[in-house]
Amino acid sequence: MPESSNIHSKKIYHRFASRRSVCYQQDLHPTILLNKVVDETHFSKNEVRAIYRAFKETSPNAVINKNIMREKFAELFPHGDIEHYSDLLFETFDNDGNGTINFQEFVKALSILCRGTMDEKLEWLYKLYDPKDKGEISWDRLFYVITSMDDLMGRTAKPHHTREQKSERTNQIFEKFDVGRKGRITKKDFFYVCKTDKTILNSITALYTLLPG
């Protein structure tokens, strides 16, 4: 479950942040305190500047809305139904819930994904499955996220999973994460399983990314 989220998140990261802007001399916007961003992230000043240039190239008015995010996902997955998963990811970046992602929100999320501690990354991943921070993940929410990820690949994907197969896959994952068979996945369960599953740990660790200076 989290390993699939990591793959898609890393793809959209490369689409936004690893491109060099043609406006190479453009510096960080004066209203953004560079030192403050550096202090609040795991990035250097040069890395923050590089990310900002790419961010401004993507959105000249320095905010990303859902439509821009969907456009980038459509470039990555041209044959897929990208709307649901794109919106799920958007919500994890939009910390204040105002419907847009500003640079500070964007760079902080990237910092967690690429350079964060294991706990920071798990907190971010958990938010994908429990966006309202209820402290638990329901079967329905898990099914929705799994279906959204499958939809990215489109109907041409092989193998193509039926609704019944997706439901069975959700059952298997839910049982794995529902420690103690409580009928729900608590946040504690989520962290415990992720930290004790070697495949998930390797996937999360692999998110460390070098940025252009």
Q: What average pLDDT score do residues 39-63 get?
A: 89
Among the ranges given (1-5, 25-29, 57-61), the one the predictor scored with the smallest mean pLDDT: 25-29
Between 7 and 206, the more confident residue is 206
> Which comes out higher in pLDDT, residue 66 or 2?
66
Between 3 and 132, the more confident residue is 132
Higher-scoring residue by pLDDT: 160, 59: 59
Dist. CA 82–CA 122, nearest whole Å: 23
Cα separation, 128 vs 12, in Å, equals: 15
Sign of the C-alpha dihedral computed for residues 190, 191, 192 and 198 taken in this order: positive
Fold assignment, 2-205: Recoverin; domain 1 (1.10.238)
Q: What is the 3-state secondary structure (H, E, C) of 171-197?
A: HHHHHHHCCCCCCCEEHHHHHHHHHHC
What CA–CA distances, in Å, run from 44 to 27, 39, 151, 165? 14, 9, 36, 45
Confidence label for 24 from pLDDT (cuts 50, 70 and 90):
very low
Instruction: List beta partners, residue 117.
Output: none
101-143 pLDDT, tens digit each: 999 999 999 999 888 999 999 999 999 999 999 999 999 999 9
Using one digit for the tens of pLDDT, what is the confidence trace for 166-212? 999 999 999 999 999 999 999 999 999 999 999 988 888 776 554 44
pLDDT > 70 in the chain, percent: 80
Rounded Cα gap, residues 205 and 183, in angstroms: 29
Q: What is the DSSP string of 145-162?
A: HHHHHHHHH-TT-SSPPP
Kindly list the domain boundaries of the chain, sorted by start residue.
2-205
Q: Average pLDDT for residues 26-34, to the nearest whole number?
A: 59
Mean pLDDT of the 157-163 span: 76
Position 23 scores a pLDDT of 34
Specify the pTM.
0.78
